[in-house]
Amino acid sequence: MLIAPSLLSCDFSIFRDEIIRVDEAGADIMHLDVMDGHFVPNLTFGAPVIKKLRGATDKPFDVHLMISEPHRYINDFADAGADIISFHTECDSDIAETLDLIEKRGVKPALAIKPGTPVDAVLPYLDRLYMVLVMTVEPGFGGQSFMPDMMEKVVFLRKEIADRGLKTLIEVDGGIAKNTIATAAKAGVDICVAGTAVFGAPDAKAAIDELKVLCG
């Protein structure tokens, strides 16, 4: 199991130091939540901030776009150094065209689905996805409760990916903590995003180590 701390829960006044701190604590991937105040009722940061932070670590930057028109900003996030770009099937952009833009820049493409969206929404694109992001909370805020029902989507996707002979990774995001990560691991998740569970812990390394141990 790979752990991707969500920087949404970090201390933004020392954003760069927080990346270095979780890097040294054993984070596998840096999860960066971009919100536009339109697709979700919250605002965070954009490509210029990510670009300034890129030098803080060599770990992959997993950029989760919770924005209405992702196609308009793909080049900016690619220029900023994103390794993975996830956008939502529920957005207003054309999905295939947005995937084209991501692929053209050599960035790994991923599609995300909100809790209310059936897994079918990603199936037409599965063959070209590096990763599927299954939201286990309503996107917008950290610190919400994990929705175990979403594991049905993970189990279905795991089988579909195997049946098609693909290597697509499955990521879950929202409410991952000591008491929920084993459920995600059992369902077949590859990457767990964890905000509160890592940044809210007194010792980030101990928190990440414990999350990994709990996956068995």
Q: Choose, by CB under 5 A, the member of 21, 64, 71, 88 that binds Zn ion.
A: 64
Q: Measured in whole angstroms, how far is the alpha carbon of residue 14 from the centre of its chain?
A: 21
Q: Return d(Cα 48, Cα 185) in angstroms, integer.
A: 34
Which tokens in the block code for residue 14?
């020392």
Query: Which residue, 77 or 124, is less far from ligand DX5 as judged by CB?
Result: 77
What is the distance between the alpha carbons of residues 169 and 177, in angstroms, rounded to a whole number? 20
- The residues binding ligand DX5 (CB under 6 A) are 6, 8-9, 31, 33, 64, 137, 139-144, 173-176, 193-197
Q: Which of 123, 124, 148, 153 is nearest to 137 (CA)?
A: 148
Which tokens is 96 given? 């295939």
Residue 67 interacting partner from ligand DX5, Zn ion, none (CB closer than 5 to 8 Å by kind): none
List the single partner that 98 binds among ligand DX5, Zn ion, none, CB under 5 to 8 Å by kind.
none
Task: Return the sign of the alpha-carbon dihedral for residues 31, 180, 37, 98.
Answer: positive
CB atoms within 10 A of CB 63: 27
Hey, what are 176's tokens?
């991952």
Q: Which of the listed partners (ligand DX5, Zn ion, none) does 109 bind, with a CB threshold of 5 to 8 Å by partner kind?
A: none
The only residue of 33, 62, 171, 190 in contact with Zn ion, by rule CB under 5 A: 33
Closest separation in Å from C-beta 6 to Zn ion: 5
For the bound state, the minimum distance from the C-beta of residue 145 to ligand DX5, rounded and expressed in Å, comes to 8
Q: Which of 28, 171, 173, 190 binds Zn ion (CB under 5 A)?
A: 173
Q: Supply the residues annotated as catalytic.
A: 33, 173
Backbone angles phi, psi at 185, to 5 degrees: -60, -45
Cβ distance to Zn ion smaller for residue 64 or 71: 64
- Residues in contact with Zn ion by CB under 5 A are 33, 64, 173
